[in-house]
Structure formats: C-alpha cells, structure tokens
Structure 1
C-alpha cells in the first residue's frame, strides 16, 4: 500500500489557471470553409431531416447520425466535414467505459461498491469538509458524493493531472451527500481507483476489457495526445474557434475518449445486451434509485414522449457534442454527433431520439 495522500501533498502541486485565462483571452478564429466533401446522399427520412436541422436551426457546421437495429444500419449526415468513419472526441461517454470497468472489478471481487475512497486511496480526499472515509465507490458512480466538479473552475480548457483536478475540487465544500449532483471529479477518482486496484491505468484496463474484445478499432484513450487519428474532420467551439487539436487531459477519466459512430453503437449494444457484465451487475448499473431516477452508473435513462425509455450517455467537450442511446436490451442503438460544443436548439436531441425509438404510426 502506498503512503497516505494528504492535502498538504496536493497543495504542493501547482495548477496554473492562468493558462485558462490566457486561452479565453485569445480572439476567436473563424471556422474555415470545410475542405471535406459530404457523404453520398441518403434516403429522405424523418431522421435525415432532423439531422439537417442541426445545421439550419442548431447552429452546427456539420452533423451525423448512425442508427442500428440489429438487421442493418442507417447513416445520415448534413453539412460538410463529417464522414462515416471519422474519429471524434466523445467527452463524457468515457464515463460509461469507466463505470463498466469498475463493475467488472466488482464482479471479480477485487473491490466492493460499498468500499470507501479511503479504502483504496487513504488520506487522499480531505479538505473543505470533504472526507474520503465517508464517500463510497457507489456514490462516485451515481454522482452522489457531493464532490465539487473541477471543470466548473477550469471550464474544460486547462489540462490537469488527476491530482490537480482533485486539488481544485477539494478547495470547495461538498454538496449534500446523497443528492445527485453531476461532477466530473467523481470519475477522475474512479480512474485513480482502477489504477490502484489493478496496477494498470484506467485506459489500459478499458482497452483490455472492452476495446479489444469488442474490436472497437476506432476507439482510444489518447492520454496527452492532442491530435485525432485519421480520418477526422474539424472541431469548432460555439464562437467558431477551431479546436481540432485539444489536450485530452482537460477531462481525463471523465471525458478523454476518442471514438467513432459505429464503435459507440457497438459498445452500447454489447453493454446493454449483457456482453460486458454479468446480469446482476448490469441491473446494478441500471438502478437509478440512489440518484433519484436521474442516473445509474455511467448510464442515464431518458423517457421519451411515447413512454419508451432509452439508456446511454452524452458527451460534451470543446469542439464536440455526442449522444448515444439504446433500448434497454441493446437491440436498437443510435449515436449522433455535431462538430461543435454548442447547439442552439435544445429540442432537437429529444426529437431525434423520439423519431428513432418511438413507434411509428402507419
């Protein structure tokens, strides 16, 4: 067991938020005209028309969607700059991968969801009323730990180590424990716990346990690599700045993942179809009672207007917004993305999900 972490240790680690201020002070670049060509035309359907609205009403330079129902897939795109096989930053969809690894470790009896943070990282979480002896792994997974979200301070613009992210969180008092409060700090801590338990990074464990078995050849944990694998398009902030190159350490275990539309569909189909977790642990993942119906473990439910509930996650990181959703059995799954972090019409996402998953009238 390594020596206990202390707040004094954390305070010795410098974090320069001046980097963030400098980045925000730069004048925004205007997005250049995309050099990539649009994919071949697809049939005119309700889904393709909705994808187009992300351009005309949502303010996105480009949008794309891939839907799978087990018997075939349908790809739609609008605008220029997104291809079928493009790599992109998946943001908080990373949390579904990290939660799956943690639950696999629980199934192997290498940890318990009732363990406290201190059971694995003694003395690490202390300060401003935060206490790792009173926070369980279950609370981290459900976002009920009360830990402050470090990205509220960094705005997702400052690359930080896990310890630096935690140092930022520990300067703020916790929210009420037991109440759902989404915090990226929870999953940064889970990434650290995976490494403590296994001796390997969360990225290595996710690659061994999920990415390789499912043959997710377009999915990776880039670490500090700021470039995207080929092929890829451009990524823009809401003000038009090109942020295609981005240090993934702005998010770490809470949002580092790079993937493709097809890979994310394959992952959620396998996960919800029982291919990654024993049935009792999948049920645990889908149990939202601790978060008062808002969140399971790395997954959250969305009840559509027709009464159908879909499961998945979204991911927002500078230059990218992604949404994956699937039926509870994983037999139907959809992922759509835009190459910006800002969509001006918030109703479009629900409209896309309803169009795909609600029964169609004759």
Structure 2
C-alpha cells in the first residue's frame, strides 16, 4: 500500500553554529562580493552561510522581503530547485545499498511499459543513466507547452497548475530522445521524475516521506521538505522575486513566492535553508550518508558538454553531484538549483571540512557567476582556506 500521509515541516530552526547564532563574521572580501552583486545586478537579497567543521558564519546583503525591508536570515527557507536531485540520487543509492534494487536495473524493470514510443525505450535505459543524465530522454521543461506556461507572462496564469509525475513523463515521451542511452549527456529533469517514481514504487512510500524519514529527520534538517499541493512556504522564508526571465533591467518585478511545485517535484521542487543545506552536504561529502561503494559511484563524474549546463568552465557531473574548478584552481563539490524566483548553490571541499551555501531570491542577472566568485573568494581567504589545498 502506498503511503500518502502528508508531510508537515517542522519549525524554522536547524543545526546550530558553535555559538548558536549562525552569525559569526564572514571575511570582509566575501561580504564585498555580496554587497557588489546586490548593488550591480539588482538582486533583492543575497545570503551565504559558511560551515567550517562545526563552526558556522553567515553574511547577507539586501533583503528577504523588499516590501518590509526584512533582512535575510540563516534559518529562512527558500525553494532549492535542482539541489533536490542530490536528495533523490541519495535515496536511490541507499536502496541499492540495501539490496532493494540495482542501478544497473532498467527503467522497464520498475515502471513496465511506461517509457515507450518515439524512439524511447525503458528496456534500454538504466537507473544509473537516469541519475547521470545520460539516458537521452527529452527534458520535459523544454516542451513548447511547458515553456509557455512557466516562462514569461504565462507563468503568472499557470503557476498554480498541478501536474502528476506521469503527465510530465508523457510530455517528455512525446519527443524523440536526444541521443541513445549512455551515448551522450543532456541536462534532464525527466530522468529524476522517473527516479522519484521508482523510489515510490520500490518503497511503497511517497518521495516526500522518504526524504523526511531517511534524510531530513535523521540529520535534523527541520527546514527541509518536499511540498505537496501547498502553495505557501511555511515559517520564516525569503520572498521570491521574478522578472519572468525578461532581460531588460527595468522589466516589472513580481513576487512569485507562492506556486505549485508539482511541476518540479523530485527534479527540483524541494524547500530548504542555507543552514540545512550546509549540514546535509557536509555529511554527504564526509561519507556519512552512503556506504563506500555507493559514495564512489555518486562521485564518479564526467565533464559536461560545453554550453549544456552551468556557464562555468571545468564542470563535471556524477549522480546528483557535480564538481567545478574555480578561477583560482580549487575544485569544489556540490549542487546548485534554480526555480522561479530563487537560485541557490551549495559546494564544499571534497572532505566536507568547508561547505558554503548561497541563496539569491530572484531569477535574473548572473547568479551563477556571483556564486562562483564568492566561492573562489572564500577559498582564497586565509581564515577559511583549508590546509592542504
């Protein structure tokens, strides 16, 4: 029997910093990156939380709410977009470690007759290829009808539309594959919808309950959850602002905090905080969340084709995990995410000793460039730079 019990997120607190405040001072040059990004790119607010071992520091510029002038806070919630993929990948890898399934299984094994038509064949696609984005499946978010609904003015009319995973998978399957399974790489949310469906089929529980039971609750991630049909973000949260992807700097700004995240679900629908994300990624990077075999598989990455993912050179992708090499030569590991009105980025050193989570509460400008600059600045700061790199 499938578990359909709704999830109720906990209060907006999380793993505490050493002094309990989350507000130890950040390096001056890191604060300068925040201030400059807000001033030059017009971001409403930009926050960063830096975790060194068990110590945390927090910095911000701009506002969580431009109407009230409320400042950004370390415990505030926001939508994390594709960082959701890391949670989904871990759940599938844990099921492999438990012997419930194998990443070498085909999609057909778990979802019979679903992935068929237009050259798509679930009998030839493995679960690992779903996570590594090498399945070749069309990314449903690029479907013309979906683009009309969620980009530009159409988003204001359709942001509360509800979708089932099956609907969006069928949308993807109306298109031929981008390439044969395992013979290329394309950023693909469809694969993570299928992964979420397989997690539910294999466990008899919802994806939301699996995240709560196996990751959020054991780690004390009290601001981290998978929304259901609710449109609001409960508790302390940043307002999310959008120009509907218009490029003009004077384009109207809309508050799009409330939306139905079912169109993103296991590929990008979760909510979290910088506090929780730092705690989660530190545990993952240390090797606390997966057995060694699955950890190694998750972190086995391949270069991403130029122009097909982050506009940063020297990026690689594994299974819900990526690495990028910064301008200063340091390599960091983690994941980023974007959804209407929100960008976030959480990356750290390979041993998890230093993890940095960033959030910008809008969807314009060059957030990824700002994130990369801040990471590079932080790792070059004497007070933060880990020994040995």
Correspondent of 1:232 among 216, 228, 237: 237
Kindly indicate whether residue 83 of structure 2 is the aligned counterpart of residue 67 of structure 1.
Answer: no
CA deviations on 1:271-312 (whole Å, 9 max, x unpaired) are 111111011211110001496873110010001223221111
User: Structure 1 length as normaliser, TM-score?
Assistant: 0.85
Counterpart position of 1:328: 350
Correspondent of 1:106 among 73, 87, 96: 96
Q: Take 1:127 and 1:141, find their aligned partners in 2: how far apart are those partners?
A: 21
Map residues 309-328 of structure 1 onto 2, 5 A cutoff.
309-328=331-350
Q: CA deviation at 1:242?
A: 0.8
Counterpart position of 1:169: 172
CA deviations on 1:217-262 (whole Å, 9 max, x unpaired) are 1111111111001111311113411101011112011011111110
Map residues 84-233 of structure 1 onto 2, 5 A cutoff.
84-153=74-143, 154-155=146-147, 156=150, 157=159, 158-177=161-180, 178=182, 179-233=184-238
Residue 216 of structure 1 aligns to a residue whose secondary structure is coil
Counterpart position of 2:41: 58
CA deviations on 1:319-348 (whole Å, 9 max, x unpaired) are 100000011111110001011022246532
Q: Is 1:148–1:173's contact at 8 Å kept on the other side of the alignment?
A: yes
Counterpart position of 1:9: none
Change (3 A) 1:106 1:44: closer
Q: Is 1:94–1:255's contact at 8 Å kept on the other side of the alignment?
A: yes
Q: Take 2:141 and 2:199, find their aligned partners in 1: how far apart are those partners?
A: 21
Residue 212 of structure 1 aligns to a residue whose secondary structure is helix
Residue 315 of structure 1 aligns to a residue whose secondary structure is strand
Kindly indicate whether residue 92 of structure 2 is the aligned counterpart of residue 79 of structure 1.
Answer: no
Q: Take 1:352 and 1:89, find their aligned partners in 2: how far apart are those partners?
A: 21
Q: CA deviation at 1:53?
A: 2.1
Q: CA deviation at 1:41?
A: 10
Change (3 A) 1:106 1:176: same
Correspondent of 1:256 among 259, 269, 277: 269
Q: Take 1:184 and 1:346, find their aligned partners in 2: how far apart are those partners?
A: 19
Judge which range, 286-295 or 139-148, deviates more.
286-295
Q: CA deviation at 1:54?
A: 2.2
Counterpart position of 1:243: 256
Q: Is 1:301–1:310's contact at 8 Å kept on the other side of the alignment?
A: yes
Q: Is 2:48–2:60's contact at 8 Å kept on the other side of the alignment?
A: yes
Q: Is 2:29–2:377's contact at 8 Å kept on the other side of the alignment?
A: yes
Change (3 A) 1:182 1:224: same
User: Structure 2 length as normaliser, TM-score?
Assistant: 0.79
Q: Is 2:343–2:367's contact at 8 Å kept on the other side of the alignment?
A: no
Change (3 A) 1:282 1:251: same
Q: Is 1:226–1:246's contact at 8 Å kept on the other side of the alignment?
A: yes
Kindly indicate whether residue 372 of structure 2 is the aligned counterpart of residue 350 of structure 1.
Answer: yes
Tell me the number of residue pairs that the alignment of Structure 1 and Structure 2 aligns. 326
Change (3 A) 1:218 1:74: same
Q: Is 1:66–1:334's contact at 8 Å kept on the other side of the alignment?
A: yes
Q: CA deviation at 1:52?
A: 1.3
Q: Take 1:40 and 1:97, find their aligned partners in 2: how far apart are those partners?
A: 27
